[in-house]
Every structure is written in structure tokens, then in C-alpha cells.
Amino acid sequence: MYNGHKRYAMFIGRWQPFHNGHKYLIDNAITQGQDVCIALRDTEISDKNPYTINQRAEMIRRVYGNKVKVAVIPDIASINIGRKVGYDVNRIDPPKQIEKISGTNVRSGVDNNVPTEVSEYIKTLQTTLWITGLPCAGKSTLAKGIKEELDNRGYKAIHLDGDDLRGKLNADLGFSVKDRKENLRRVAHIAKLFNENGNFVIASFISPSNQLRKMVADIVGNFRLVYARCSLETCEKRDVKGMYKKARSGEIREFTGVSAPFEEPDNGSIVVDTENNNLEDCVKRILKEMKI
């Protein structure tokens, strides 16, 4: 972090989130030719402090790149100095329009007082990433891989899986066209609630038609679709539960890919080839497309 004998102007705060008030002060120091170090207080997660250290550092990086240094400090209660400490401790009085910026309003989206890069990043933190594909195309495996990577990066990530919800919350539903639609409608509202509470949601559901995916997208709002593309032949070979075999014998009716149709997504989705690429490459591609 420390670069030789270079001396920095330090700005200490929570940065929950980084907004234009912070940017004004830092830009002013940079304009004066000062090198800047931003100290992030390691605060506990709460309603007033919803973003992790990694997320706050990423907000700053998206605005300044490598132009400033970022350091993490404990959640200090006071700053105490003696005489002749070797640096200046300055109070900076910002303009009135900066003083009026409310961190609470910024977090709740009431105003637009964040740089565009940060605004887009915060929006990404509250996205539903919806993975569609044939049975056994690797949707759940892909979702778990994405969640693990996001967890390692400090995101608040939730995985909603078709098998889990089918056996619990939506156990009353069958596999008719009407029940499939109702299953996805319920899941979409759950995803939206998690998003509104600051969670990144990964949902892995067959969702076989463009009409159903559009319904989900309309409910969720902040929605990205991922198509786990895999041939029917390979999906059948991967089927350790024997579902395809049962479907072809007529034991399972209305089975997607065999006795019920699957429509490939319209343009606009993120497409990953789960047949020919490994999990790590697929996860990297998705997160790169999401700019995470």
C-alpha cells in the first residue's frame, strides 16, 4: 500500500455508498496535485452499512481505477494525535449542496447522488441472474459455482433452485402448463423481494418458453438471463436420476425436451456452452458479461 516516501492526502469514512459528496472532496485534492489514499472503516453490516469492504472498494475502483490508493482500517471510535505528528489534520467544509447529500437517501435510491459507475454497480448488486436450460444442462451446478465466487468476493448472494422450491414452498404444484407458470410466478416474486433487500439472486429453473421468461423478467425488473446451452443427447447422458429414461417410456409426462417443448432464449441472454466448457470458464464468462 505504501509507495516509498510518497505522502498521501487521506480521506477516512464508511463510504456507504461512495457518492458525489465524497467525489467532490477527492477530486478537489487531486486537482491540487495531491496523491490520495481512501481509508475504508471496517463497519459491521447493517441497514445503514449494507455494503461489504470489498463492495465499497469496488465502487471507488470503478470511479478512479488505480488513481487513488484504498486502505482498510478498523471501525475507529476516535482519532487522537499528539504534537508535531508530521502531517496536517484538516477539516474540509464542502459546499452547501454537498452537505445536503443524505447517505440514507442515496442507499434507498431516493436521489441520484452517486457517480454513474457506482450507480450501475449498486444496481448489479441487486440483480436476479436467471439460468434457463434443458434438464441436466448444468443449471444448478452453474448457479452454485457463481454463488461460491460471489461469496468469496463479499457479495450477498442467494441461490433459488427449482428442485428445492418444488419440494418445499411449491409442493402443491404439478407440471401442467398452468402449474409451471404459477411456480415461476411465485419464484419471481421471491427473487424480487431478495433483490429489494440488497441481495444478488441466482435462480436456476428450466423455464422452457420465452413467454414464461418474459413474465419473470417483468416481475423481477432488474433481471439478466443466462442460457446454459447443452445438447439433448449430452443432457440424457448426464441424467443420473433416470428422468429422461422415464420420460421416454411414458412414466413421466410433459417432460421438457422429450414430451414438452423447450424454446431457446431470444437474443439478449448470456449464453454459456456447458457441454464443451468447464464450470470455471462458464462462471468467468457470466461474471465478465455482468461486469462483476
Half-sphere exposure of 16 (CA within 13 A, CB side): 17
Catalytic residue, from 119, 207, 209, 269: name it: 207
Whole-number Å distance between alpha carbons of 94 and 98: 6
| Locus of grid cell 428445492 | 164
**Grid cell listed for 234:** 449430452
C-alpha distance across the termini of the chain, in Å? 23
Contact 194, 157 (CB under 8 A): no
In angstroms, rounded to a whole number, what is the distance separating the alpha carbons of residues 265 and 225? Answer: 9
Query: What gap in Å lies between CA 219 and CA 119, rounded to an integer?
Result: 21
Q: Contact 149/143 with Cβ under 8 angstroms?
A: no
Q: Are 121 and 165 in contact (CB under 8 A)?
A: no
Q: Which of 58, 230, 240 shows the shortest CA–CA distance to 138?
A: 230
3-state secondary structure of 14: coil
Q: Helix (H, G, I), strand (E, B), or coil: what is residue 256? A: strand
Residue 222 grid coordinates: 432488474
- Helix H, strand E, coil C: the string for 101-130 is CCHHHHHHCCCCCCCHHHHHHHHHHCCEEE
Placement of cell 444478488 in the chain: 200
Rounded Cα distance between 1 and 25, Å, is 21
Is 207 noted as a catalytic residue in this protein?
A: yes
Give, as one character, the DSSP assignment of residue 247: H
Annotated catalytic residues are: 207
